[in-house]
Each structure stands twice: as structure tokens, then as C-alpha cells.
Structure 1
Amino acid sequence: MKLSKLLLFLVLAITFSHYASHAAEVETNSKENATNLSDDEVSNHLAPIEDEDSPMGLARRLLFPFQSLQKGLLTCNKYPRVCRRKGSAGPDCCKKKCVNVERDRNNCGRCGKKCKYSKICCKGKCVNPLFNRKHCGGCNIECSKGSFCVYGMCGYA
């Protein structure tokens, strides 16, 4: 039992030391290359460090999420193109985070504008989906002529 604990601790220590040394190396490299990066260079910074099939790559993927490696390296306030990549939360940058100001409740229409509790953000405006005819029950769900939006349903009777 003691041997297995020692072995596990040793594997974790090696993995962590490798991770810490690589993170420090990446940080110094990113500071040296702080000039404008092209889309290809940004993609290279976002590429995984190890092959997923290698033992260290597998251990790192299991023990440390990949996003923690990138945290702070490529922020949208320095590199706005990061927000336009596939899988990004949105094309706009607010407080070093990629958001969509058309739909984000905490940044509705502009950075820092929050929608109240019962409201949602549709097309950059805070609306109440329970009673709004153009956004009845959700964004862009419009009630037909003559019917009203009541409790998020068109023509509730």
C-alpha cells in the first residue's frame, strides 16, 4: 500500500514539475513575442503541447485541463482575434473574456450592462420573455397579430 502511494505521488510530482516548467517557458516566450500575431501564429499558440497518445500528454490531459494552460496567455484584450475562433463564447471582448453582447445577460448590448433577474438579453436589449410579444418565451419568438404574450406563451387563455 505504501509503495503504491509513493509511486502515485512520484508520478504526480513529475507531471506537475513538467507542467510548471513548460508553463513558465510558454509565458516567457509569449512575453518575448508580444508583437501582433497573425491568425496562424495564434493557432500555433493554442495547439496542444504534447501528443495525446504520449504518456505525458495523456497524464496532463487527465490531471490538468488544457484551458488552465492557456489561461492568461492569450487574452482577448491583447489579441482580439481569439474571440473569432471556432468554439469561442462570442466575438466581443469584455473584461478579458470573449462574450456575445447580443445574448449575454451580464454584457447585454455593451460590456458590463447586466439584465435584471427576470429578463434575458435578445439582440442586445434586456427584455422580459414572459410578456414581450416579439420575444415571447425566448429570443425572437414573435406572437401572431391579435394574440398577446402572457407567461411566455402566445394567446394564453
Structure 2
Amino acid sequence: MANAILKLTTVLILLIFSTLHDSHFASSTDVDEDHEDINEEEEEEYVLDTRIPHLGPRSRFLATIIKKGRQCNLETNNICNGVRANKGRDLLFCCKKHCRNVLSDKNNCKVCGNKCKLGQRCCDGVCTNVLSNASHCGKCNKKCSPGDSCGSGVCGYA
């Protein structure tokens, strides 16, 4: 009986911790895609690796920058379909009506509409469990020291 109570208590504590932990790691990209969002890990604007030639009489500088969340239309104003930005770190696509970085957007991971599950983030276009991955512990590209494991998104968690 005591063993069953101990197991139940442990499960409840883990469930509560997991819920609190996941809410801590929830990014603003969980918001409806039609609203502009700001993910703290992403930059406010994307500096394009190559200039967009079809923007008309805009300055050379303005033709190389796309603001985060900029509106687009797949048929008439597709300024961000397959465009590389920020020295290759970002890959922009027009998802619904906004430019999205499919390498880090958890609602459009690798392709538009591919949502990562709870406890996952989009790391280089792959939905990754950041709660237990030693190469992406707590967030993308945060590596634990050699010999340390990742538990609950913390390196060396015992």
C-alpha cells in the first residue's frame, strides 16, 4: 500500500513539474499564426543572404531585409518562399499569410503547418525533445558538458 502511494505521489510530482516546465518553455509561436509574434530566440528582422530582385524601386538596403512576421501571399506577394537569411541560419517560407523561419518555428517546423509536440522545439527544422536531448537541452543547440545528461531540460539534472 505504501509503495503504491509513493508511486502515485511521484507520478503527480512529475506531472506537475512537467506542466510547469512546458509552460516555461512555451514560445510565443504558440499564438495564432495570423497575429505577429516575437520569439525571444529569433531576431526582429531577417537579413537576406541574397537580394530580392522583384521588389521594384526600393532601395538596395530595403530589398535585403524582411521584418519578422511580414505578411505574404502565396500567389501575389510571395517574398519569402525558400529565401535564406541571416547567413544561412534561417530559411523563410510563406506559411498561411506570414513569413516564417521553418528552421525554428515550432508551428511550421521544416514545412508549413508541421507543429511540434509539447516539450519539443524546432531545432534546425526537426522537432526535438528539449527535455532530454543532451545536444538541445532546454533549448536548441544548448549542449551539455561531456558526461552530463539532460533531464527536464537541465544539464546534469539528477
The TM tier, using the shorter chain, reads: 0.3 to 0.5
Which of 1 and 2 has greater Rg?
1
Higher relative contact order (CA 8 A, sep 6+): 2
Structure showing the higher strand proportion among its residues: 2
Higher fraction of helix: 1
TM-score by length of 2: 0.48
TM-score, with normalisation over the residues of structure 1? Answer: 0.48
